Amino acid sequence: MSRVLIVGAGLTGSLCACLLRRELQSKVQIVVWDKARGSGGRMSTSRSPDPSSHSADLGAQYITATPAYAQSHHSFYSELLSAGVLQPLLGQVEGLKQKDDSKNYTTPLGMCSVVKHFLSESGADLFFECHVTGLYRRGASWEVQRKVGDSETFDAVVLTMPVPQILQLQGDVGHFLSLHQKQQLERVVYSSRFALALFFPPDAVLSFSWAARYITDNSCICYIAVDARKRNADAPGFGPSLVIHTSVPFGLEHLERDKEDVQPIILQELHKLLPGLPQPISIKCQKWRYSQVLTSVQDCPGHMTVLDRPLLVCGGDAFSHSNFDGCVESALSVLSALKASL
Ligand SMILES: Cc1cc2nc3c(=O)[nH]c(=O)nc-3n(C[C@H](O)[C@H](O)[C@H](O)COP(=O)(O)OP(=O)(O)OC[C@H]3O[C@@H](n4cnc5c(N)ncnc54)[C@H](O)[C@@H]3O)c2cc1C
């Protein structure tokens, strides 16, 4: 039985695990390692430290299916809709520039439920707080080192973390990348943003009716959402949560500062935009150094094979584009490489 390691429990990694299981059933042992404490990656949902507040999606907000992707990825959409993971987005989104006949979907249980769905379908052995630090070729296998714990050996490895984090790995990855591949990876560019979640007590009232709002005339904040309304999941007894995303120029300007120092600046701007906000119970600030891909890996759609035997492939939104369909495209492409090799 082949042993495959997927590094990253974000959307691409979870889809790779699920598709591989469906394709090869019990012929493969699938192991997923993620350095974080939970699944989701950039589709993460944060719980409030106080259980009486609603959780908050700090990264991806909703899923937009263009007519072309609604057709080509129909099976993924219908699976998630029939499982109740996705629902049509019903709340009012002010300033949303809707193109063509695209459809927007929301996740009643938060964006991480999409990732959790595919992980649970995969039956993979899932390990969190497993930070991969290096890969070493040992004959027909890869020895994978992590920050804490023994290294382990796998027949194939799939890397789905952001490209700069792939380039930071120690060991043989750099040796097996050709000069051309290295240049392709080095040219990838991501935007950076900060995200803030404000968790309110159950009696807090937010006096506006929108579920989310895009802001174009503020240099700091570009998007605000009332998470439960955005998810069609307003539940009595739970305090609302508010999610704030900063603009890309603001993210870039403050990228090297501690998030604790940036949080008060964002809060000050927020109170100008929404005066009279109630007092939150707690606040969480997230720095997305690698937010969305601005320049993807050129001439390398879906995945990059670093070595055929033992197989080492890189995937993720950098090999397509930063949204649900981009991750599906990459996962399908990684699957084709795995099928050919295993
Ligand atoms: C602020 C923001 C808003 C967005 N809005 C939307 C939206 O509305 N709609 C939409 O469709 N998309 C949106 N996106 C984009 C979408 O979230 C991403 O395209 C998608 O989540 C990428 O998934 P991925 O699996 O390729 O990468 P990731 O989600 O980044 O997963 C990679 C995983 O690898 C792990 N990892 C990294 N290094 C290591 C290591 N050394 N060892 C072990 N594990 C490691 C990370 O912890 C992470 O879990 C948004 C993203 C952000 C940040």
| Angle formed at CA 248 by CA 278 and CA 63, multiple of 5 degrees | 75
Ligand 1 atom 34 nearest Cα: 8
Ligand 1 atom 19 nearest Cα: 322
Residues 224, 213: contact at Cβ < 8 Å?
Answer: yes
Domains (range + CATH), the chain? 2-37+128-188+296-341 (3.50.50.60), 51-111+189-295 (3.90.660.10)
Nearest one of 202, 205, 196 to 278, comparing CA atoms:
205
Question: Structure pTM?
Answer: 0.98
Phi/psi-derived region of residue 115, left when phi > 0, alpha when psi is between -120 and 50, beta in every other case: alpha
Instruction: Output the pLDDT for position 99.
Output: 74
Task: Indicate the top mutation candidate among 19, 42, 329 to test ligand 1's pocket, ranked by most ligand atoms within 8 A of CB.
Answer: 42
For the CA atoms of 80, 83, 85, 86, what is the dihedral angle to 10 degrees? 50
Nearest one of 188, 187, 193 to 249, comparing CA atoms:
193
Q: Is residue 327 within 6 Å of ligand 1 at its C-beta?
A: yes
Distance (angstroms) between ligand 1 centre and the Cα of 190 equals: 11
Q: Tens digit of pLDDT per residue, the chain (342 long)? A: 899 999 999 999 999 999 999 999 999 999 999 999 999 999 999 999 888 899 999 999 999 999 999 999 999 999 999 999 999 999 999 999 887 799 999 999 999 999 999 999 999 999 999 999 999 999 999 999 999 999 999 999 999 999 999 999 999 999 999 999 999 999 999 999 999 999 999 999 999 999 999 999 999 999 999 999 999 988 788 999 999 999 999 999 999 999 999 999 999 999 999 999 999 999 999 999 999 999 999 999 999 999 999 999 999 999 999 999 999 999 999 999 999 999
Residue 203 and residue 197: Cα distance in Å, rounded?
18
Residue 187 and residue 181: Cα distance in Å, rounded?
10
Largest distance between two CA atoms of the chain: 64
Instruction: Output the pLDDT for position 237.
Output: 86
